[in-house]
């Protein structure tokens, strides 16, 4: 199906979901090349998890920037991207829909084109954008063609949580990841937090979660959280790392190819040494205790058989315990569109992409942690590749994109990039950089495997699913009685993952517990969740929402 | 006693295995996936007499509600999450109320207990209903189970009676003796082809029964009919019975190809409220139609206005197995000796499972059936094709 000129006015060239490093880089890369881009993110400020920032209160907000700067990395790059996006928004080339929660994405659907009762009233408050009515696009009725996509989002800034729609020719999905959680006795006590959560409080708000914080789990991220805590004035009695540093030596070649990352790690290590923080390696959490709130954590070494050794356990008083086992890619939106997945380095599913960050669904590009957890530097590269590829796709099928060059691109190094040649060079450089960072990420993942020791430490009475209060014992019993080892069957029989979190928190652990009980490997198949953000039935019942039209309608006449 | 292979570990296969094992047959249940992983995990667990007009399906349903009661007594209501909560059918217009009352009168004559409910009495049944509904009918016989738990419980009981349950086993076909009688079932297990000796095979593969029956060499026509179910956030007990609009009654009996929605609203043990279910014939297309989902939400809010502010947690999709004449296929296939079908239950496979299992066990054991089996016979398609 082709789009008529009047319809084109309603359709963005690119919709980017997520404004973390990946989404931000994609947005700027695409807008720099003249595409009309809408970037949609649930947070008040761009930056995602890595560059989490408080809501912009006033312009310019460099004061706040300075306050939280000590806890951030590569901020110059952030400011450059953020300012560039602001210029594009001011020029009418892009829109930043902040505090919009995307609950569904789909190929444009016939029903969406029919005028719906109650949809006529446009929701107020989108960042300076003109809003068209979806009802005017009767031409799309009766087709299932996916030459464009509908992004359905809830405006969380309005108390009524209005729904809006963004219709775009291509999508870049960059929704990032969330903390992987693993249960242990006492993990549900107040004061036991995820490492990512503790980090977000510092980065986003300059707030310390506690005064005496043990950081435990696995991965270099623990060092960054520990360093942030001590710099902010907290006491960190120990960082408890389940992997052994000696295993670093097994992959020296891969490591030296990503020196800047190593330098970042070295800086954290320096800070920690200066503050006398001890790092226990091949140790892990046995349990947390406290009355009404965490008061101590008991940690133990992992012995030769891979189990925690309770005889050598140590009890450490804390007021907060920060635990980080890595990150879970947020796959709701890619899965809803039918994008293929594969098992990632941690065993959890990640999306499949090609050299251009193209998913297996035409018109859909993926970048950042959804393609495999690899950190912010990799997310930036993948985002830029995706943004450029999306523009090429749009340019190839219509006049809206590539023709309009922009005079001041994001970075000095690409200022000369007017012609094909420079563009090709840039793409080669990005491809190489992606390869290097990906190799580094894989090496890290190989070293920082989640050890199986937690399964032995998990007592039968420990709650695994907090929403439905399902214990490890209940899951083990179901697994034994019905030989159920896959997450879905365990959920249907014992209810873990049926509640509010829909298994986002407990799904990984519940499946590991069941599989371990039966002595089979956990499969960790991707779980489709067609509702990616909460919305009320009333909102749904109101019918199709109004579309947020591209801001620069007049430009097509220029 | 016969060696019986039941293909499919869904609700229907489990009920067949349960009855066959109680009869003392040597039962092996095989499924390529996990317990209840097919349509059984994709629907609701309504056990309804209220939506059926007089005829063979109603006879099967009436027998089933009785058997479900007995199963719950034997295995424990909690194990199945069985609740004999009754169904309240409400009309949204005076016109549908008239049709509903007439439908109920005919059902009463066929042995269904039902009580007309005046508008003023609706809130006595359901305090949260919209105040402007013209009236309804209450069916005390309607029940509910959690389908996957019920399936697992019946298989567990069958195992205690000697049955074997094997997962990861895909059925490829059957081998027959020279006299045309079943000899063994050919399966793929971990990439290897194996044979399981059998005197009888029960095809209980639901929506895939068309494919499996063809592999066996005794094809019956079973097709998919898509449905969506909406799940809300957990709430305190706000819906007491199964509550549905009278349009559902006409949808079930309808042969129209297009989309049909009418809501069934019910609370679950976990506190979530389920809103089902749309009916569409779109093949095996699993993409969510947000247009259909919106229509369902609007219908639910119409009868329960409080739902307006309630959050949607999840939407899921399933494919009901249906036959062209909207009756299940239950019985021996006259083309290959020892082949039985128990499939095509459409939107009522949970409800009709126990009576189906009983019927299969009666036929395999050579007894006369409790409910007349004739109308469900696979021969109706065999002679049609000939
Ligand atoms: C809590 C947390 C803290 C972290 N802190 C650090 C750190 O300090 N240092 C570090 O190196 N790495 C950190 N990470 C790892 C981090 O994932 C990567 O370093 C990096 O931020 C990945 O970039 P990204 O663009 O892929 O995703 P993200 O940065 O995660 O960005 C994704 C963005 O998409 C938005 N989004 C997702 N789904 C939707 C939706 N449905 N609707 C609207 N918006 C949506 C999110 O709000 C978010 O802003 C953290 C991860 C987490 C989960
Ligand atoms: C949205 C929706 C709502 C519904 N609501 C209700 C309701 O409220 N009440 C009600 O009674 N019914 C309801 N139903 C219908 C009900 O779910 C089905 O009728 C019932 O689950 C069918 O059960 P079954 O055992 O026949 O099939 P299934 O549960 O699908 O089992 C068939 C099994 O066969 C296996 N299989 C397939 N091919 C092979 C092979 N080659 N080898 C080995 N194994 C194979 C599959 O893996 C599967 O496990 C609903 C259905 C839907 C979709």
Name the residue among A55, A54, A46, A58 with its Cα closest to residue A22: A46
C-alpha to C-alpha distances, A109 to A137, B318, B346, nearest whole angstrom: 11, 20, 27
Structure tokens belonging to residue A477: 């019993």
Sheet architecture: strand order including A314-317 = A283-289, A296-301, A314-317
Q: Distance between CA A515 and CA A487 in Å, rounded?
A: 9
Ligand 2 site, residue B212, Cβ cutoff 6 A: yes
Quickly tell me which residue has 């947690």 as its tokens: B313
Q: Distance between CA B361 and CA B24 in Å, rounded?
A: 10
Q: Distance between CA A241 and CA B89 in Å, rounded?
A: 59
Interface predicted TM-score (ipTM): 0.88
Name the residue among A325, A360, A315, A401 with its Cα closest to residue A526: A360
C-alpha to C-alpha distances, A445 to A346, A455, B158, nearest whole angstrom: 7, 20, 45
- Beta bridge pairs of residue A131: A548
Q: Are A21 and A48 in contact (CB under 8 A)?
A: yes
Contact B272 A536 (CB under 8 A): no
Question: Element (H or E) spanning A514, and its range?
Answer: helix A507-518
Backbone CA torsion sign across A55, A57, A61, A63: negative
- From A489, A500, A540, residue closest to B35, measured CB to CB: A489
b/e code B135-169 from CB counts within 10 Å (16+ = b): bbbbbbbbbbbbbbbbbbbbbbbbbebebebebeb
Quickly tell me which residue has 């439908």 as its tokens: B103
The reported pLDDT for the residue numbered A164 is 95
Ligand 2 site, residue B207, Cβ cutoff 6 A: yes
Question: pTM here?
Answer: 0.89
Please report the domains of chain B, with CATH numbers, ordered by start residue. Answer: 3-74+147-222+325-385 (3.50.50.60), 87-140+223-322 (3.30.9.10)
Ligand 2 site, residue B357, Cβ cutoff 6 A: no
SS3 B166: strand
Average pLDDT per block of 10 residues along chain B, 386 residues long: 96 98 98 95 91 92 97 96 94 88 92 94 95 95 95 97 96 95 96 97 97 96 92 92 79 52 83 85 77 91 95 92 94 96 96 98 97 96 66
Probe residue for ligand 1, chosen from A19, A165, A176 as the CB with the greatest number of ligand atoms within 8 Å: A176
Name the residue among A492, A520, A518 with its Cα closest to residue A507: A492
Angle at B142 between CA B136 and CA B144, to 5 degrees: 125
Question: How many helices (H) and strands (E) are present in chain B, helices listed first?
Answer: 11, 19
The reported pLDDT for the residue numbered A485 is 80
- Residues of chain A with Cβ-Cβ distance to B307 below 8 Å are 537-538
Contact A541 B294 (CB under 8 A): yes
Distance in Å, CA B42 to ligand 2 centroid: 8
Region label for A48, one of left (φ > 0), alpha (ψ between -120 and 50) or beta (otherwise): left
The reported pLDDT for the residue numbered A204 is 80
- From B146, B148, B300, residue closest to A537, measured CB to CB: B300
Nearest C-alpha to atom 3 of ligand 1 is from which residue? Answer: A196
All residues at 6 or more sequence positions from A365 whose CB lies less than 8 Å from its CB, including other chains: A26, A170, A171, A172, A173, A353, A356, A357, A358, A359, A386, A389, A390
SS3 A384: helix
Widest Cα–Cα separation across chain A: 77
Report how far Cα B38 is from the mean position of its chain's Cα atoms.
Answer: 12
The reported pLDDT for the residue numbered A324 is 97
- From B291, B300, B314, residue closest to A111, measured CB to CB: B291
Backbone CA torsion sign across A301, A507, B234, A476: negative
Backbone CA torsion sign across A167, A173, A176, A182: positive
Distance in Å, CA A264 to ligand 1 centroid: 19
Nearest C-alpha to atom 53 of ligand 1 is from which residue? Answer: A178
- Residues of chain A with Cβ-Cβ distance to B313 below 8 Å are 500, 502, 531, 534
The reported pLDDT for the residue numbered A116 is 36
Q: Are B315 and B294 in contact (CB under 8 A)?
A: no
Give me the tens of pLDDT residue by residue for chain A, a chain 558 residues long: 345 556 667 899 999 999 999 999 999 999 999 999 999 999 998 999 888 877 765 444 555 666 666 666 778 888 899 999 999 999 999 999 999 999 999 998 654 543 333 333 333 333 333 323 232 232 333 333 348 999 999 999 998 899 999 999 999 999 999 999 999 999 999 999 999 999 999 888 788 999 999 999 999 899 999 999 999 999 999 999 999 866 554 554 555 455 566 667 778 888 898 999 999 999 999 999 999 999 999 999 999 899 999 999 999 999 999 999 999 999 999 999 999 999 998 889 999 999 999 999 999 999 999 999 999 999 999 999 999 999 999 883 333 333 344 444 454 444 444 567 888 889 999 999 999 999 988 888 888 889 999 999 999 999 999 988 999 999 999 999 888 888 888 888 888 888 888 888 999 999 999 999 999 999 899 988 889 998 999 999 998 998 998 875 444 332
Output the 3-class SS for A419-471: CHHHHHHHHHHHHHHHHHHHHHHHHHHHHCCCCCHHHHHCCCCCEEECCCCEE
Residue B289 class from Cβ within 10 Å (0-12 exposed, 13-18 middle, 19+ buried)? buried
Name the residue among A399, A320, A331, A403 with its Cα closest to residue A366: A331
CA distance A58 to chain B (A): 33
Atom of ligand 1 lying closest to residue A369 CA: 26
Question: Element (H or E) spanning A385, and its range?
Answer: helix A376-397
- Residues of chain A with Cβ-Cβ distance to B78 below 8 Å are none
Quickly tell me which residue has 């995706």 as its tokens: A386
Extended beta strands in B86-222, E state? 87-91, 115-117, 135-139, 143-144, 164-167, 169-176, 182-189, 192-197, 200-203
- Residues of chain B with Cβ-Cβ distance to A537 below 8 Å are 230, 232, 275, 297, 300-301, 307-312
Structure tokens belonging to residue A10: 């309603």
Backbone CA torsion sign across A113, A119, A121, A123: negative
Extended beta strands in A174-276, E state? 177-179, 192-194, 213-217, 238-241
Structure tokens belonging to residue A557: 């006449």
Nearest C-alpha to atom 44 of ligand 2 is from which residue? Answer: B31
The reported pLDDT for the residue numbered A406 is 44
Name the residue among A25, A19, A11, A17 with its Cα closest to residue A386: A25
Distance separating the N- and C-terminal Cα atoms of chain A: 26
């Amino acid at each position: 199906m082709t789009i008529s000129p009047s319809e084109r006015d309603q359709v963005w060239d690119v919709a980017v979901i997520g404004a973390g490093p990946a989404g931000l880089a994609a947005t700027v890369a695409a807008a720099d090349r003249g595409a009309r881009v809408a970037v949609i993110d649930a947070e008040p400020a761009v930056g995602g998890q890595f560059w989490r920032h408080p809501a912009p209160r006033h312009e310019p907000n460099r004061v706040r920037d300075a306050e939280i700067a000590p806890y951030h990395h590569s901020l110059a790059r952030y400011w450059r991207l953020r300012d560039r996006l602001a210029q594009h928004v001011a020029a009418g080339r892009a829109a930043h829909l902040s505090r919009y929660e995307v609950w569904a994405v789909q190929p444009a659907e016939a029903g969406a084109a029919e005028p719906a009762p109650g949809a006529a009233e446009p929701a107020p408050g989108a960042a300076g954008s003109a809003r068209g009515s979806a009802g005017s696009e009767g031409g799309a009725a009766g087709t299932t063609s996916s030459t464009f996509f509908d992004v359905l989002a809830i405006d969380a800034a309005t108390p009524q949580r209005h729904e809006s729609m963004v219709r775009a020719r291509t999508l870049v999905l960059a929704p990032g990841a969330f903390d992987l959680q693993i249960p242990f006795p006492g993990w549900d006590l107040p004061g036991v937090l995820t490492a990512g959560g503790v980090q977000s409080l510092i980065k986003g708000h300059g707030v310390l979660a506690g005064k005496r914080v043990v950081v435990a789990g696995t991965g270099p991220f623990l060092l960054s959280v520990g360093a942030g805590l001590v710099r902010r004035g907290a006491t960190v009695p120990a960082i408890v790392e389940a992997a052994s540093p000696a295993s670093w030596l097994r992959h020296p070649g891969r490591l030296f190819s990503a020196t800047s990352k190593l330098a970042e790690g070295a800086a954290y290590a320096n800070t920690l040494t200066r503050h006398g923080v001890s790092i226990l390696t091949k140790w892990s959490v046995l349990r947390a205790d406290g009355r009404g709130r965490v008061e101590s954590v008991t940690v133990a070494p992992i012995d030769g058989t891979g189990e925690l050794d309770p005889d050598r356990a140590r009890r450490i008083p804390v007021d907060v315990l920060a635990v980080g086992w890595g990150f879970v890619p947020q796959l709701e939106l890619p899965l809803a569109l039918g994008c293929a997945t594969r098992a990632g380095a941690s065993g959890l599913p990640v999306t499949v992409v090609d050299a251009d960050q193209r998913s297996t669904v035409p018109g859909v590009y993926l970048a950042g942690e959804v393609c495999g957890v690899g950190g912010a530097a990799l997310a930036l590269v993948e985002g830029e590749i995706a943004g450029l590829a999306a523009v090429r796709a749009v340019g190839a099928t219509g006049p809206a994109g590539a023709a309009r060059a922009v005079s001041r691109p994001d970075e000095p190094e690409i200022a000369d990039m007017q012609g094909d040649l420079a563009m090709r060079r840039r793409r080669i450089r990005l491809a190489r950089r992606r390869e290097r960072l990906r190799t580094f990420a894989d090496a890290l993942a190989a070293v920082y495997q989640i050890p199986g020791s937690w399964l032995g430490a998990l007592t039968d009475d420990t709650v695994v699913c907090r929403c439905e209060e399902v214990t490890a014992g209940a899951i083990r019993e179901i697994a034994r009685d019905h030989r159920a080892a896959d997450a879905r069957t365990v959920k249907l029989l014992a209810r873990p993952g049926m509640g509010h979190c829909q298994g986002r928190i407990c799904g990984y652990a519940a499946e590991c517990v069941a599989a371990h009980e039966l002595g089979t490997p956990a499969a960790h198949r991707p779980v489709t969740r067609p509702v990616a953000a909460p919305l009320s039935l009333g909102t749904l019942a109101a019918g199709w929402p109004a579309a947020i039209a591209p801001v620069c309608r007049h430009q097509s006449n220029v | 006693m016969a060696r019986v292979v039941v293909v499919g570990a869904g609700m229907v296969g489990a009920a067949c295995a349960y009855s066959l094992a109680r009869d003392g047959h040597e039962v092996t249940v095989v499924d390529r996936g996990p317990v209840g992983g097919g349509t059984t995990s994709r629907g609701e667990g309504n056990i309804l007499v209220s939506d059926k007009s007089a005829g063979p399906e109603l006879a099967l349903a009436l027998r089933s509600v009785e058997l479900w009661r007995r199963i719950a007594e034997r295995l424990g209501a909690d194990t199945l999450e069985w609740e004999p909560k009754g169904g309240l059918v409400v009309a949204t217009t005076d016109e549908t109320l008239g049709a509903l009352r007439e439908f109920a009168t005919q059902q009463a004559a066929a042995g269904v207990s039902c009580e007309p409910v005046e508008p003023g009495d609706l809130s006595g049944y359901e305090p949260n209903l919209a105040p402007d509904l013209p009236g309804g009918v209450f069916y005390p016989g309607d029940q509910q189970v959690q389908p996957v738990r019920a399936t697992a419980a019946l298989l567990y009981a069958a195992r205690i009676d000697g049955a074997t349950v094997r997962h990861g086993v895909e059925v490829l076909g059957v081998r027959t003796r020279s006299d045309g009688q079943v000899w063994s079932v050919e399966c793929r297990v971990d990439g290897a082809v194996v044979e399981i000796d059998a005197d009888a095979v029960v095809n209980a593969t639901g929506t895939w029964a068309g494919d499996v029956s063809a592999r066996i060499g005794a094809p019956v026509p079973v097709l998919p009919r898509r449905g969506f179910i909406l799940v809300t956030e957990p709430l305190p007990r706000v819906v007491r019975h199964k509550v549905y609009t009278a349009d559902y009654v006409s949808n079930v009996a309808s042969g129209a190809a297009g989309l049909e929605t009418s809501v069934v609203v019910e609370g679950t043990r976990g506190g979530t409220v389920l809103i089902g279910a749309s009916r569409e014939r779109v093949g095996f297309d699993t993409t969510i139609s947000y247009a259909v989902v919106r229509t369902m939400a609007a219908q639910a809010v119409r009868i329960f206005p409080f739902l307006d502010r309630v959050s949607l947690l999840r939407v899921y999709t399933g494919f009901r197995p249906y036959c062209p004449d909207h009756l299940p296929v239950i019985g021996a296939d006259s083309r290959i000796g020892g082949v039985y079908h128990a499939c095509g239950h459409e939107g009522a496979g949970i409800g009709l499972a126990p009576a189906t299992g009983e019927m299969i066990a009666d036929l395999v054991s050579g007894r006369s059936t409790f409910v007349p089996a004739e109308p469900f016979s696979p021969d109706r398609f065999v002679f049609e094709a000939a």
